[in-house]
Amino acid sequence: MEHILSLIVFFPLIAGIFGFVINKENVKTFGISVAFVEFLLSIVLWIAYDPTNSGYQFVEYSALIPQFGVGFYLGVDGISLFLVILSTFMTLVSLVALNIKKDIKNLVITILFLEMTLVGVFLSLDMILFYIFWELSLIPMLYIIGAWGSGQRIYAAIKFFLYTFAGSALMLVGILYLGYQYYLATGTWSFAIPDWYLLVLPFNTQLWLFGAFFLAFAVKVPMFPFHTWLPYAHGQAPTVGSILLAAVMLKMGTYAFIRFSLPLFPDASVYFLYPVAIIATIMVIYAAMVAYAQKDIKQVIAYSSISHMGIIILGIFAMNAEGITGSIFLMLSHGIVSGALFMLVGVIYDRRHTKLMSEFGGLATVMPRYAAIFGVLMMAAVGLPLTVGFVGEFLSLLGFYRVSWEITVIAGSGIILGAVYMLTLYRKSFFGKVVKEENKTLKDLDKREFAALIPLVALVVILGVYPKPILTTIDMSVRKTIQTMERKALLPDTKKFLLKVNSIGGTK
């Protein structure tokens, strides 16, 4: 058990390297089995994880550059645990759903590399290590979008890569500066996050550093107005790319907010609360509107992700256990739901090679099963109670209500607008009469697609009905984070604020 984390991180890498020698026909099977083993490993991790302990578990440390305080430092806590499981699970599912024939070998290997970077991001406790995985994750995605995408795939891939890379450039400076601050404070170099949690920074420094980190995370999330790479990436990416991008990669940004921005710069976070909240609100509504205007099913879902990420951001910046726990749960649920939705779009795209709503209509008649599953996931997407979508959304908004009811009302209108574009999408493509000739003969879901989709649907219901075990585990670590914030807060206002948002009652 000591080295399970590094095993989880590097198993896909090793397997991927082995993948080079496996022949074309079997490589997909290989990929699936590897992903499955990886998934099992993450489940083992969950089982072995002690939910009553809020700290980092299975910690591994080995110095890389002691002189410079860089170390190979892994650890898992309630916040990262389920994101790791999400990554492994979605990778598995997307591989199962995979039906690309072209250069399948490279694709599978790339996906495995991607999985490594994703898991690595969530497990690193060393800032440099985190940065390494953070940047590395771009490379496989660049390849996936650029090589297997459609239409302007290269433009989309380069845009995605450059945008996110440039976004995180400033973060590097921030990291190094913070490291230097730590050096000044303690006389030794360290980039270990737990060490940094002990470091109390002056307010102005916090502001600057918060800004530097914010840009990187905001681009990744992506927050308005840094979101324009997303529609292109999703629009051009192959199904598997979209799934992993929406399900896991977007979560890196929000995860980083919880892991770094809040506990490292509590005062700055509170100081910037309203600007961020307003941006998030704009995201929610603006993205929902743009989604409503789309003609391409995939684009609708792409923009809907932006909208949902807005709610996640709100939940995070509620800075109370309800909100943050909710937002993390919403990350999971959005991962599952959006992943599944992209998969469904892929299904129809494989059959008709178009994603335009106008091309469809009356699909419910020709593909009832498909329509049913799509319907379930749509309901999860609009946050219907007893689906996975509700819990996170409810908690996030609930949490932020404590901060400001006005913003919550406005952002809450997302649940209306969400229903608007989703139902419209569903109505346009599934209801009505089958007009197009080529749609009359469409095949319903086949075994492979079922195998990929059923688990997701099951999760949507199960986690919707019984999220408690996950929530409690997350909650433990979230409380710890909040305590860290309270401990580090410099300004009395911050302290007051944190106290207020984490307590019941009082006026308003």
Distance CA 243, CA 144 (A): 12
Q: How many CA atoms does the CB half-sphere of 321 hold within 13 Å?
A: 17
CA nearest neighbour of 343 among 458, 423, 443, 453: 453
Nearer to other proteins, 158 or 490 (CB): 158
Nearer to other proteins, 1 or 185 (CB): 185
DSSP 350-396: HHHS--BGGG---HHHH-HHHHHHHHHHHHHHTT-TTSHHHHHHHHH
**Identity (one letter) of the amino acid at 230?**
L
The distance of closest approach from Cβ of residue 201 to other proteins in the complex, given in angstroms and rounded to an integer, is 15
The distance of closest approach from Cβ of residue 241 to other proteins in the complex, given in angstroms and rounded to an integer, is 13
Nearer to other proteins, 229 or 260 (CB): 229
CA nearest neighbour of 272 among 326, 211, 229, 320: 211
The distance of closest approach from Cβ of residue 40 to other proteins in the complex, given in angstroms and rounded to an integer, is 27
Nearer to other proteins, 207 or 289 (CB): 289
Distance CA 231, CA 55 (A): 38
Question: Token digits for 443?
Answer: 């095949």
CA nearest neighbour of 281 among 302, 258, 311: 311
The distance of closest approach from Cβ of residue 297 to other proteins in the complex, given in angstroms and rounded to an integer, is 15
Q: How many CA atoms does the CB half-sphere of 130 hold within 13 Å?
A: 24
CA nearest neighbour of 277 among 411, 150, 154, 158: 411
Nearer to other proteins, 93 or 264 (CB): 264
Nearer to other proteins, 257 or 286 (CB): 286
Distance CA 70, CA 72 (A): 7
Sign of CA dihedral 301, 303, 304, 306: positive
Nearer to other proteins, 432 or 455 (CB): 432
CA nearest neighbour of 313 among 222, 435, 190, 193: 222
Sign of CA dihedral 83, 88, 92, 94: positive
Distance CA 222, CA 226 (A): 6
Backbone φ and ψ of 76, nearest 5°: -130, 140
Nearer to other proteins, 40 or 503 (CB): 503
The distance of closest approach from Cβ of residue 52 to other proteins in the complex, given in angstroms and rounded to an integer, is 14
Nearer to other proteins, 179 or 266 (CB): 179
Q: Burial of 449 by CB count in 10 Å (0-12 exposed, 13-18 middle, 19+ buried)?
A: buried
Nearer to other proteins, 44 or 158 (CB): 158
Nearer to other proteins, 40 or 454 (CB): 454
The distance of closest approach from Cβ of residue 225 to other proteins in the complex, given in angstroms and rounded to an integer, is 5
Backbone φ and ψ of 61, nearest 5°: -135, 130
Q: Burial of 22 by CB count in 10 Å (0-12 exposed, 13-18 middle, 19+ buried)?
A: middle
Helix (H, G, I), strand (E, B) or coil at 109: helix
